[in-house]
A and B are shown apart, each in its own frame.
Chain A
């Protein structure tokens, strides 16, 4: 039942979008839908305070103040309440979990970094049979 990581990586369900279930990994920000109302920052403020609103450059007709959320993964606990709070579906979560870095400053993801699409690296499935469970390389 051993998964030989990093040669095999689990194939995960798609990311979390309220109200359907999904894997809570790295957040994905759809900058075209975000209006900058900072509800996600309000939801996170007392939990860990991982979201800060910052200014970003670019042409975003729906976001007059040009403020977008910036996530600090050193503080985030991946509870997903920010995703629940976003009424416009701009903030969702993906199944990207490999976020390790060498220095702490690199854990802060700017809105542009959050907007990049997630990479799906999964290549093996976890199979539960009648009396044994194992991994198969997909």
Chain B
């Protein structure tokens, strides 16, 4: 039986900006080769021409649905390099905004999973509920998605008046929607039929391929940078890291839904315990860190972000290397898709939460 070569290419409603070359024999995928690079814009090179503060609007653009999570890593790296001490209030605000962004990114993921599976309501409801969080973020940071809020030294502005009530109302609203999502989306018999047993990634394969984030935690390995190397105020927060044993698409979905619940827990703790004080350490706008290199890791919504910055004492970094979780999850594509049905291709693709913009940088 001859093979058919399909190019699920960049101009395709089911692939984002990413080409996947799939060889299909009847309905079974024989070989799937990812071909990233469609949206490569040279972010790392462009970062060498901008000062440390001016890099922040640049670096939050590739990762648009979770911009706070990725800029967090950059800001921590610069602070480590320059030896800056962050005030307590700034740490708490940063953790809260990062967790808010994690919830927004996971809701976006759930919505696009609905499109990939053909469930239009699973697309509409999370996007509508995400609007509540975007409104809250807009109240604090001024824009809906590209905040430029984290700076080396703390955060740019303080929380507005009445933020605690608004945030508590938004979190209560979100927590009241999660049981409905469970009832209609996660416990939907067709959803479990489509995702259980599909794309099984065992834990030894997960470690061998080097995947990160909820993909890793869905295969039974309980690894999270927030608990392994806590940064900012995470060591004072009380939360769990969900992980499931089976390693199929269903357990990866459950990991993300559980992470939403844990994030609401963290936000409630922060709203109770946030200290008063300065929100930004005094730092010159033209930051010139001393010579040296630094490496920092954070846990964004999709996985582990790592930054490696080399500075030669100038006002722009000499080399900025970004390690994004989508790029780290790429080896899982050909491994998981071999031998599965053609209809499992979008299911597996989106359960790995691959974001072409941040993989190509």
Contacts and interface: CB of A to CB of B under 8 A. Distances in A.
Interface of A: 1, 13, 16, 18-24, 43, 46-47, 77-81, 84-85, 93, 126, 128-133
A105 B138 CA distance: 29
27 contacts: A1-B128, A13-B160, A16-B157, A18-B157, A19-B158, A20-B158, A20-B160, A21-B139, A21-B140, A21-B158, A21-B159, A21-B160, A22-B142, A23-B138, A24-B142, A43-B54, A43-B285, A77-B146, A79-B56, A79-B146, A81-B148, A84-B285, A128-B166, A128-B169, A131-B173, A132-B173, A133-B131
A80 B141 CA distance: 10
Interface stretch (B45-53, B317-325, B345-353): B45-53
B282 to A, nearest CB: 12
Contacts of A133: 128-129, 131-132, 173
A39 to B, nearest CB: 9
B176 interface: yes
Contacts of B172: 130
Given A21-B159, A131-B177, A79 B148 contact: yes
B79 interface: no
A20 B157 contact: yes
A132 B176 CA distance: 9
B143 interface: yes
B49 A46 contact: yes
Interface string B115-137: 00000000000001101100100
Closest 3 CB pairs of A and B: A24-B142, A131-B176, A21-B157
Contacts of A79: 56-57, 146, 148
Most chain A Cβ neighbours within 10 Å, of B57, B141, B142, B172: B142
Contacts of A47: 50, 54, 57-58
B91 to A, nearest CB: 18
Interface string B185-229: 000000000000000000000000000000000000000000000
B312 interface: no
B127 to A, nearest CB: 10
